[in-house]
């Protein structure tokens, strides 16, 4: 199987949205209400939102397995003006590609890309109730460093752990 990580340029952000529409609701259905999923999909994955994230320095990548889109990730270097920190904002795989080693591959790629930019820390947020993701990240040497509650509007709250991995 040939894996290919492609950086997404601004005109192709719709590809990220298409993947998110398939994977994101399915991932969070056991954790969040349908109303919150709909709200967050619009907040984070609308064309306008993706464009703004791109303009603010997020770099999007689509992972292809052979020629099929398998998932995506986004990273931001110099997170919060810290030249030694890269934020892994998004990492999602389509269901049929989960458990195949592609998540590990994305983490490794994010770490390598971050290191080439001088980062010493790879950081991410994960929903506190997404136990499978938390265990996955722990196996990849991430540690929980903080608990964070983020009010996102419409009376919804993101209840996250911040996890970090030294590079």
pLDDT in tens, 112-164: 999 999 999 999 999 999 999 999 999 999 999 999 999 999 999 999 999 99
Taking the CB of residue 82, how many other CB atoms lie within 10 A of it? 14
- Which of helix, strand or coil describes residue 116? helix
Are the beta carbons of 114 and 123 closer than 8 angstroms?
no
- Which of helix, strand or coil describes residue 5? strand
Q: What are the tens digits of pLDDT across the range 32-61?
A: 999 999 999 999 999 999 999 999 999 999
pLDDT band at 11 (very low <50, low <70, confident <90, very high): low
Beta strands in 77-155 (DSSP E): 85-93, 121-127, 143-153
In the chain, pLDDT over 70 holds for what percent of residues?
98
- pLDDT for 13 equals 92
First-to-last CA distance in the chain?
27
Spell out the residues 6+ positions from residue 110 whose beta carbon is closer than 8 angstroms to its own: 73, 75, 86, 88, 91, 122
- pLDDT for 82 equals 97
Distance CA 14, CA 49 (A): 11
DSSP state of 142: -
Break the chain into its structural domains and give their ranges: 3-166
Give the fold, CATH level 3, of 3-166: Aminopeptidase (3.40.630)
């Amino acid at each position: 199987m040939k894996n290919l990580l492609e950086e997404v340029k601004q005109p192709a952000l719709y590809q990220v949205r298409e993947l998110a529409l398939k994977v994101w609701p399915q991932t969070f259905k056991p954790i969040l209400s349908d109303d919150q999923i709909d709200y967050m999909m619009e907040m984070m994955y609308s064309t306008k939102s993706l464009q703004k994230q791109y303009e603010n320095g997020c770099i999007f990548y689509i992972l292809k397995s052979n020629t099929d889109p398998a998932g995506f990730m986004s990273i931001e270097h110099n997170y919060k003006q810290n030249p030694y920190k890269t934020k892994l904002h998004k990492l999602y795989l389509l269901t049929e590609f989960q458990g195949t080693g592609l998540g590990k591959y994305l983490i490794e790629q994010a770490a390598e890309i971050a290191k080439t930019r001088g980062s010493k820390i790879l950081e991410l947020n994960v929903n506190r109730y997404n136990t499978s993701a938390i265990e996955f990240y722990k196996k990849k040497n991430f540690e929980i460093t903080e608990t964070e509650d983020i009010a996102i509007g419409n009376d919804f709250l993101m209840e996250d752990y911040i996890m970090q991995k030294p590079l």
